[in-house]
Chains A and B, each alone.
Chain A
Amino acid sequence: MISTDAKFTSPNDIAAFARQLRNKSKAIPKVVRVCIGTGCAAKDSRKLYELFQEAARKSSRDVRVETKNVGCHGFCERGPIVVIDPGEIFYQQVEEPDVAEIFRETILGGRILERLLFEDPLTGKKATKAAEIPFYNVQKRVVLSANGLIDPTQITDYLAAGGYSALAKVISSMSPEQVIEQVEESHLRGRGGGGFPTGRKWRSCREASGNGKYIICNGDEGDPGAFMDRSIMEGNPHSVIEGMIIGAYAVGAEQGYIYVRNEYPLAVRHLTGAIAQTRKRGLLGKNILGSNFSFDIRINRGGGAFVCGESSALIASLEGKPGEPRAKYVHMVESGLHGKPTVLNNVETWTNVPKIINNGGKWFADIGTEKSKGTKVFSLVGKVVNTGLVEVPMGISLRRIVEEIGGGVKDDKKFKAVQTGGPSGGCIPAEHLDARVDFDELTKLGSMMGSGGMIVMDEDTCMVQVARYFTEFLQKESCGKCTPCREGLAQMLHILTRITKGEGQADDLDKLKALAELLEGTALCALGKTAANPILSTIRYFQAEYEAHIQQRRCPAKECKGLFRYKIDEEACKACGICLKNCPVDAIVGEKKVPHKIIQEKCTLCGTCWDKCPFSAVLKV
Chain B
Amino acid sequence: MAFEYEKYLRPGKLPHIWCPGCGHGIVMKGLIRAMDTLKLKKEETALVSGIGCASRLPGYIDCCTLHTAHGRAAAFATGVKLAKPEMNVILVGGDGDGTAIGGNHFIHACRRNINMTYIIMNNYIYGMTGGQFSPCTPTGHKASTTPYGNPDPGFDIAKLAIGAGATFVARGTAFHANQIDKLIVEAIQHKGFSVVEILDDCPTTYGRRNKYKSVIEMMNRLKEVAVPVKAAEKMTAEQLQGKVLTGVLYKDETKPEYTAEYAKVIERATAAK
A binds B: no
